[in-house]
Structure 1
Amino acid sequence: MAVIGFVPVRGGSQSIPLKNIRMFCGYPLVYWVVRALSDATSIDRVVVATDSDDIEKVINELSLPKTTVYRRLSSNATDVASTESVMLEYIEYAQLSLTDVFVLAQATSPFTTADSIDGALQLYEAGRYDSLLSCVRQKRFFWNDNGTPMNYDHCHRPRRQDFNGLWMENGAFYVNKVAGIMKERNRLSGIIGIYEMPSHTAVEIDDPDDWLVAELLFRQHNRSCCDKGRIKLFLSDVDGVLTDAGMYYTENGDELKKFNTRDGMGFSLLQQAGVKTGVITTENTAIVDRRAKKLRLNYVIQGKRDGGKLASALDICREEGISIHEVAYIGDDINCLDLLSQVGLAACPSDAVDQVKRIPGIHILSKKGGEGVVRELADYVLSECR
């Protein structure tokens, strides 16, 4: 008997285009549930079923253990196709045993953890249920269309602590045997059990407002949301980040830049922790070369314009054998947007331009450019992400 974690993700999304690989708290949205399944000791293998080249590329770049990509049929990836249709498609394709356990998990529920997956499978293996689903206990008062209360007596309104409420699907995951899925052609069958998850996991990401709420909740309940130990490369812009963006000239026309020494210590601490460091800037000056040499940076890339920053970072990733999601980058202006939108940990000074601050999941630092923002983010990486 095998236990398969199954994540169906389509390339098409009407409300949020390419939602499943849009950056959520430093990683593509689909990463969080795939990582939870991958980390769960009860799961033998993880399958991401997609029709999208872009999603397949992202999953492969993440290099998560036990994880493979299955290219689902386009006919089962339309707006009207059911999730069950792709489940049954894969079961037939992979010739799964009737006794195999199938865990359907949703990418739009990033709050799912390995502990919740293992806990649910432990409950399932006790043998009391034929299938089960994740729910939250909703302590809200519901009413019928005819003006009558559905789940309480309004003449004797209960206190919250005395009120059981109702179970509500949070859409995180469903567990069933292959035999049950094939018999009922449904994710649930037979005697159905409930695995309770925390109330904040009720948030599903179906529209832009959900996204904003989910990120706030995720950061509150997942202090390590930048993923501990995953940052292997730390990159920074120069002007407006390592400097205050001021342009200083002598009477002879020589250009000057003011750097903050605390940033130098930030780079040094990162290097001591085994994190590679570098700068990528659109300018090309001897001043930056001299500063980078003094800081002993691993990479100094200057003169990159028109989207070249992302290409340069990807070149470094290939050289280092890492993913772009294992990179932290600080930028402050629109020429940093492409790279900031792709890295695992994106950050900006407090005085960055508004377009940068609006990047979903970006870490807005408390300091302005030139005031030690690299040191601030370095401390965050080394304390929160280690």
Structure 2
Amino acid sequence: MKKIGFIPLRKGSKGILNKNKRKMVGRPLFTWVLGEAIFSDLDKVYVYTDDQDIIDFIHKEYHWTNKVKALLRSKESAGDTSSTEFAMLEFAETINHDFDVFCLLQATSPFTKRENINACLNKLDDNYDSALTVVNTHRFTWYEDGTPANYNINNRPRRQDFDGLLIENGAVYVTTKEALQESKNRISNNIALVKMPEESLHEIDSENDWIIVEQLLIQRQKLQKKPNKITHIILDVDGVFTDGTISYTKDGEHTKNFDMRDGMGLEILRQFGVKVMVMTSEQSELVAKRMQKLKIENVFLGVKDKYSLLQNIIQKKSISINNVAYLGDDVNDLTNICSVGWSLVPNNATDIVKQHADIVLSKNSGAGAIREACEFIINYNKRF
């Protein structure tokens, strides 16, 4: 049974400029749901968009998986008045209905987890034709004529005694191919419900919504942290190995400065059994040569979605994220900093990452920060 994911993205955004591509906790918004879809039970995940920049991003970024494919959608399906169902049906025709189960995922629902996707998929094994995610909210609702819709005002229930309402949160919709072809709708016939946490009800339609959702995501990632013995450290490069500056020659070539003491710190750290990896958004031959000199084998260059790659690394190496330390300095490191067992940042890192890191080092980047981090890890691991 072939199960596919479908993420429709439009280039235009009325409420928030470039919403789908804008960084949410340091990652483009759409990558939150895309990353979870990759690690779910879906067999293939399609991003359907009229934005060529997103298509190019996906082709370049997710080379480590064969599960993701980006397709260009028509102008008709990306119009302001076009329905999601129109895009779904157009896409289904494009791939000749090559699926058994169709899973619609909304990029504006960054709280979606792989467990939510899998729970909806599993409902189809229980003789349901489709499933969707909902939130159980304990709000009292009213009709416009001033009468209550879901409770008796003379016998106001306590929250713990109130069943509340199930509200569609717009995150995940799953349907069989037969049901989709018959109804031409995202859900139909025998429908199952899957509950998600109440915070997933937040919609991102304004700048205030964005701020609220971002803070909730940061808090969620932090609450999942359970620091353990550090077995792996992942380091950014610019602003960590270097001071974040680049020197250019008249011919356009550039140079970077590295601290030799940092290299020695990493060598000593490896002697204590800690694996060293490097993850940077830059595609640099200079960096590759320096890491080769330091004998660091796991070097990932040109990475924009660092959190998804981190998830792939821990899955392939069968390690826990709580055994990972991360050393970064800027907003594109933020999700990893909020998620790993231990996060460390140089003293001259950006304010946003210093605010959320576990350890703010006393040394600056390119001036002993890595060496200090190595010494912290060695001392910390002694307790194990």
TM-score (ref. length: structure 2):
0.68
Structure 1 match to 2:51: 52
After TM superposition, give the deviation of residue 202 of structure 1 in Å.
Answer: 1.4
Q: How does 1:87-126 map to 2 (within 5 A)?
A: 87-96=88-97, 100-126=100-126
Q: Partner of 1:58: helix, strand, or coil?
A: helix
What is the CA distance between 1:194 and its match in structure 2? 1.1
Structure 2 SS opposite 1:96: coil
2:21 counterpart residue number: 21
Matches within 5 A, 1:97-246: 100-127=100-127, 129-223=128-222, 233-237=235-239
Alignment correspondent of 1:283 = none
Q: Given that residues 240 and 369 in structure 1 are in contact (C-alpha distance below 8 angstroms), is that contact kept between their aligned partners in structure 2?
A: no
Counterpart mapping for 1:261-300 below 5 A: 265=265, 269=269, 272-276=274-278, 298=291
SS in 2 for 1:136: strand
Q: CA deviation at 1:350?
A: 7.0
Identity among equivalent positions (%) equals 32
1:49 is paired with a residue of what secondary structure? strand
List runs of 5+ in structure 2 lacking aligned partners: 245-258, 294-298, 310-325, 338-343
Q: Which amino acid aligns with 2:73?
A: R
Which residue identity is paired with 1:212?
I
What is the Cα deviation at residue 192 of structure 1? 2.1
Identify the residue that residue 304 of structure 1 maps to in structure 2. none
Task: Report the counterpart of residue 303 of structure 1 in structure 2.
Answer: none
Say what the alpha-carbon RMSD is for the aligned residues: 4.3
Is 14-23 or 2-11 further displaced after alignment? 14-23
Could you report, residue by residue, the CA deviation over 1:229-271 in whole angstroms, capped at 9, with x for unpaired residues? 99865224389969xxxxxxxxxxxxxxxx9x89974796599
Distance 1:322 1:238, change over 3 A: closer
Q: Deviations over 1:143-174 (max 9, x none)?
A: 11121111111111101111011111111111
Q: What is the CA-CA distance between 1:198 and the residue it aligns to? A: 1.4
Which residue of 1 is the match for residue 255 of structure 2? none
Partner residue in 1 for 2:318: none
Query: In structure 2, do the counterparts of structure 1 residues 207 and 159 end up closer, same or farther at CA, with 3 Å as the change threshold?
Result: same
CA contact (8 A) 1:133 1:193 kept: yes
1:26 Cα offset (Å): 3.2
Structure 1: which 5+ runs fail to align?
Answer: 243-258, 281-291, 301-318, 333-339
| Residue aligning to 1:61 | 60
Q: Structure 2: how far apart are the matches of 1:277 and 1:115? A: 27
Closer, same or farther in 2 for the Cα pair 1:274/1:262, shift >3 Å?
closer
The 2-side partners of 1:376 and 1:8 are apart by 45
Q: In the TM superposition, what is the alpha-carbon distance from 1:18 to its structure 2 partner?
A: 2.2
Q: 1:277 to 1:48 in 2, by over 3 A?
A: closer
CA distance in 1, matches of 2:231, 2:102: 30
Q: SS at the partner of 2:237?
A: strand
Corresponding letter in the other structure for 2:205: D
- Amino acid aligned to 2:275: A
Report how far residue 71 of structure 1 moved. Answer: 1.1
Aligned match of 2:32:
32
**Alignment partner of 1:122: what SS?**
helix
Note closer, same or farther for the CA distance 1:151–1:101 as it changes in structure 2 (3 Å cut). Answer: same
**Separation (CA, whole Å) in 2 of partners of 1:83 and 1:377:** 48
Give how far 1:207 is off.
2.1
Aligned to 2:84: 83
The whole-number CA distance in structure 1 between the counterparts of 2:161 and 2:67 is 44
Residues of 2 paired with 1:118 and 1:90: CA distance? 22
Q: Identify if the C-alpha distance between structure 1 residues 236 and 377 changes in structure 2 by more than 3 Å, giving closer, same or farther.
A: farther
Contact kept in structure 2, 1:241 and 1:373, CA below 8 Å: no
Q: How many residues align?
A: 319
Q: Distance in 2 between matches of 1:180 and 1:110?
A: 27
- SS, match of residue 149 in structure 2: coil
Contact 1:11 1:50 in 2 (8 A): yes
Q: Distance in 2 between matches of 1:77 and 1:46?
A: 19
Q: Which amino acid in 2 is paired with 1:237?
A: G
Cα 1:163–1:374 change in 2 (3 A) is farther
